[in-house]
């Protein structure tokens, strides 16, 4: 598929979504809605990989690909793999608070069935599901009062596809209320901690897919899925030493996910490395009749192959020659982070096939990515108007950001949509006209526009009293070019080992110490300022 055709298809879909002509934002929560479709693209196969000694010694250390390799070689069983993760959940979940619900009994039953007959590329793999994905028979609350007690009658398409591929759900991941902030109680009190700083809840674990990130980083699940509207996949991945892939809008279905913003909601994986992210995305991707955004798109490329490093004469090279754009703000800010980014650039530049070029932003970049970004607020408010009218207290500490959407006029929304398409033109015709992928210091503008981006770890830096907190970076690409991002990520991870590092187990605090821990509490103003 040519880049020009990719762009035309993407622009048509983006315009249709903005006009509200392909699907509704109403919350699909009754049994009258259709069951999820399992149709996908190309068959997914997890390749055999070299299993590290640490993964052989402790199954919870294994990447998804390592776990699949061990299962394929009969070095372990689904039940053994699931029990290893459930044991860590029982031991460390009181500290991490990564889950809204742990589905231990169902996971054990699924593992025993997989012991007898393994089917699918994820057969026996323990997974965490963000709590805004519908899970049949399991409460789905999006960590909010709005959906308290809601038990969906069916699985979201993404969940159904993971299960059909053999994946085993061990629990629902804690999240920011209605996908707005880091994971908190609806009143703003912080819950889930960063797995790298479990005794310091002030360190940001990333949001709103906080629980899925902490579950994977803390070795409570082998991989996970989250959602992204304003950085909620790549952000937690950067904060917790994971690899997160936000696909192009429509590449993966959002059917059966409690919405935040129809034109910006994406589903995707938070994984341990590029290969795991590719496998998860390949399982999730493909057309879904229940989500019109997924229909009529270019075929899903071979993501798994793209995530495998290429070597020539023993040296890692890029699968395709790739020009990597470096924006003017990439080497600004915190000195320790800038040093890591500089080393990251040097490492990329040393890989044959990689070419680094400086790019510039247009004069109106800040206006387009900042001020006009507020138009998302009215889009998120619209499907929740009945709940706002019913009882504003249902929205807890995030109420202010929902009310803000009520005060945007129709002409402001239209102007914002024009600004969004102007931004898209500035990005594709301007900034990215000289490069294949673009480095970023944050998720904007790729999540605003529905373009794919990859977050991956590049080292550690001190934060407060914590000497080593993960630092990541973000790469963005053109429409449907997830494979290009994976190729760059695979080459980088083949010559570095940041992604293989795991946090130490948290110390079990004494009862007196537990009672003395005071969790931070976000204010409504803080939530409004940092909301997705």
* 295: DSSP letter: T
Residue 31 has pLDDT above 50, yes or no: no
69-128 per-position pLDDT tens digit:
999 999 999 999 999 999 999 999 999 999 999 999 999 999 999 999 999 999 999 999
**This prediction's pTM:** 0.95
Catalytic: 208?
A: yes
* Token pair 């910006």: residue: 264
Residue 394 has pLDDT above 90, yes or no: yes
130 is catalytic: yes
Least confident of 33-37, 39-43, 315-319, 428-432: 33-37
pLDDT of 487 higher than 50: yes
Catalytic residue among 130, 172, 246, 420: 130
144 an active-site residue? Answer: no
Residue carrying structure tokens 């390749």? 47
3-state secondary structure of 403: helix
Name the phi and psi angles at 388, rounded to 5.
Answer: -65, -40
Cα radius of gyration (the chain) = 21
For residue 61, the surrounding DSSP H or E stretch is: none
Residue 438 above 50 pLDDT?
Answer: yes
Q: Are 431 and 325 in contact (CB under 8 A)?
A: yes
Range 135-146 average pLDDT: 96
Selected catalytic residue, list 208, 209, 261, 401: 208
- 266-271 vs 243-246, strand pairing mode: antiparallel
Whether a cis peptide bond, with omega within 30° of 0, leads into 354 is no
d(CA 75, CA 324): 41
DSSP 519: -
Phi, psi (rounded to 5 degrees) for 231: 105, 10
| Cβ–Cβ < 8 Å for 221, 126 | yes
Examine residue 122 and say whether the peptide bond preceding it is cis (omega within 30 degrees of 0): no
| Arithmetic mean of pLDDT, 223-244 | 97
Residue 62, helix vs strand vs coil: coil
Q: Using pLDDT thresholds of 50, 70 and 90, give the confidence band for residue 513.
A: very low
What pLDDT was estimated at residue 512? Answer: 40
Which has more pLDDT, 407 or 501?
A: 501
For residues 490 and 225, the answer to whether their CB atoms sit within 8 Å is: no
Question: What is the CB-side half-sphere exposure of residue 497 using CA atoms within 13 A?
Answer: 3
User: Distance between alpha carbon 59 and the CA centroid of its chain, in Å?
Assistant: 23
If you average pLDDT over every residue of the chain, what do you get? 92
Average pLDDT over every residue of 401-417: 88
Among candidate residues 232, 237, 253, 398, the one labeled active-site is 232
Contacts of 492 (CB under 8 A, 6+ apart): 344, 347, 348, 351, 456
CA atoms within 13 A on the CB side of 47: 13
Inter-CA distances, 102 with 10, 87, 173, 223, 434, Å: 38, 12, 9, 15, 47
Is pLDDT of 133 > 90?
Answer: yes
Mean pLDDT of 279-298: 96
User: Which tokens in the block code for residue 336?
Assistant: 């320790």
Over 80: is that where the pLDDT of 247 sits? yes
- 156 pLDDT tier (thresholds 50, 70, 90): very high
| Window from 220-229, 298-307, 323-332, 411-420 with minimum mean pLDDT | 411-420
At 373, is the secondary structure helix, strand, or coil? helix
């Amino acid at each position: 598929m040519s880049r020009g055709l990719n762009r035309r298809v993407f622009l048509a879909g983006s315009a249709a979504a903005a006009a509200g002509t392909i699907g509704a934002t109403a919350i699909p929560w009754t049994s009258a809605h259709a069951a999820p479709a399992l149709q996908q693209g190309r068959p997914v196969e997890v390749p055999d990989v070299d299993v590290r000694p640490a993964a052989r010694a402790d199954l919870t250390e294994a990447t998804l690909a390592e776990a699949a390799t061990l299962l394929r070689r009969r070095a372990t069983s689904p039940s053994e793999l699931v029990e290893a993760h459930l044991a860590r959940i029982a031991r460390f979940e009181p500290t991490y608070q990564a889950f809204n619900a742990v589905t231990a009994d169902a996971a054990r039953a699924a593992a025993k069935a997989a012991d007898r007959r393994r089917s699918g590329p994820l057969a026996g793999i323990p997974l965490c599901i963000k709590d805004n994905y519908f899970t049949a028979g399991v409460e789905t609350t999006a960590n909010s009062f709005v959906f308290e007690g809601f038990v969906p009658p069916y699985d979201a398409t993404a969940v159904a596809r993971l299960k059909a591929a053999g994946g085993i759900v061990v629990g629902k991941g804690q999240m920011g209320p209605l996908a707005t902030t880091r994971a908190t109680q609806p009143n703003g009190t912080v819950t889930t901690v960063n797995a790298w700083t479990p005794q310091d809840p002030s360190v940001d674990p990333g949001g709103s897919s906080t629980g899925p990130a902490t579950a994977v980083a803390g070795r409570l699940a082998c991989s996970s899925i989250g959602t992204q509207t304003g950085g909620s996949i790549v952000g937690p991945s950067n904060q917790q030493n994971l690899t997160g892939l936000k696909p192009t809008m429509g590449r993966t279905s959002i059917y059966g996910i409690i919405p935040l913003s129809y034109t910006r909601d994406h589903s995707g994986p938070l994984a341990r490395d590029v290969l795991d992210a590719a496998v998860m995305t390949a399982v999730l991707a493909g057309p879904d009749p229940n989500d019109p955004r997924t229909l009529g798109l270019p075929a899903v490329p071979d993501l798994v192959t793209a995530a495998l490093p290429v070597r020539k004469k023993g040296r890692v090279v890029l699968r395709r020659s790739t020009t990597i754009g470096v924006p003017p703000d990439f080497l600004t800010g915190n000195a320790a982070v800038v040093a890591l980014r500089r080393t990251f650039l040097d490492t990329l530049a040393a890989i044959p096939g990689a070419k680094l070029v400086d790019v510039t932003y247009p004069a109106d970049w800040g206006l387009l990515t900042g001020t006009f970004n507020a138009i998302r607020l009215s889009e998120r408010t619209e499907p929740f108007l009945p709940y706002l009218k019913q009882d504003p207290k249902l929205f807890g500490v995030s109420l202010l950001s929902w009310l803000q959407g009520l005060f945007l006029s129709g002409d402001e929304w239209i102007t914002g949509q024009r600004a969004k398409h102007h931004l898209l033109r500035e990005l594709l015709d301007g900034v990215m006209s000289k490069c294949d992928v673009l480095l970023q210091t944050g998720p904007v503008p790729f999540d605003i526009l529905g373009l794919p981006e990859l977050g991956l770890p590049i080292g550690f830096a001190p934060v407060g009293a914590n000497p080593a907190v993960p630092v990541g970076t973000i790469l963005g690409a053109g429409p449907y070019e997830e494979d290009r991002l994976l190729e760059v990520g695979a080459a980088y991870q083949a010559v570095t080992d940041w992604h293989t590092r795991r946090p130490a187990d948290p110390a079990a605090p004494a009862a007196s110490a537990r009672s003395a821990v005071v969790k931070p509490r976000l204010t409504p103003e803080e939530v409004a300022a940092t909301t997705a």
